[in-house]
Amino acid sequence: MKIGILNIQGDVSEHFHMIQRLKGKYHVEPVNVKTLADLKDLSGLIIPGGESTVIYKILKKSGLYETIKEKAGSGMYIMGTCAGAILVSRDTGDKTVEGMDLIGITIKRNAYGRQIDSSIQTIDIKNTGKFEAVFIRAPRIESADGSTVLASMDGYPVMVREKNILAMTFHPELTGDERVHEYFISMIES
């Protein structure tokens, strides 16, 4: 199975290497996605963290925005991390970035503070266990209507799933812990 990593800006190589590391356990192949043609034959797509405004503008200009929405609506699996969670949300709380409305979450950009406020927190992911989650200028999920909350922190969801969409406000690709990426692969395989 081919899993694309949106290669516009942000933690692209970290996600790519994480999927590449899992090739020994699963029949997966990471694919960098920069153009509409790169979306062909993907089973899943990871939208990485980065700067959501920049990613949004490039997605809209390239035509990738609408195509990703269509493919997700047709069942392609999507994992959005940090800025990716903002992009897949129903409501970004920000007029400069329109969410794709792929998952029923309302999100607030940079809710946990500036770069200096970044941190590593231990969270408990449902059916996975303790996980060292890296939060960098993280958004906060204000509400998760219709979504299954898989992990919370300080009373707010930090990892949610709704059908074929997985969203989290942290960066699992920065930990070396493969379990979140394995969870995404298991979603696709099931």
- Which tokens is 52 given? 């959501």
What does DSSP say about strands 156-162 and 148-153: parallel, antiparallel, or unpaired?
antiparallel
* Sheet strand arrangement including 29-33: 29-33, 2-6, 44-47, 77-81, 165-168, 156-162, 148-153
Instruction: Report CA-CA distances (Å) from 40 to 11, 44, 77, 119, 169.
Output: 22, 11, 13, 36, 27
Query: Catalytic site residues?
Result: 82, 171, 173
Is there a contact between 121 and 133 (Cβ–Cβ < 8 Å)?
yes
Instruction: Report CA-CA distances (Å) from 51 to 37, 39, 152.
Output: 24, 21, 23
Mapping DSSP to helix (H, G, I), strand (E, B) and coil, where does residue 188 land?
helix
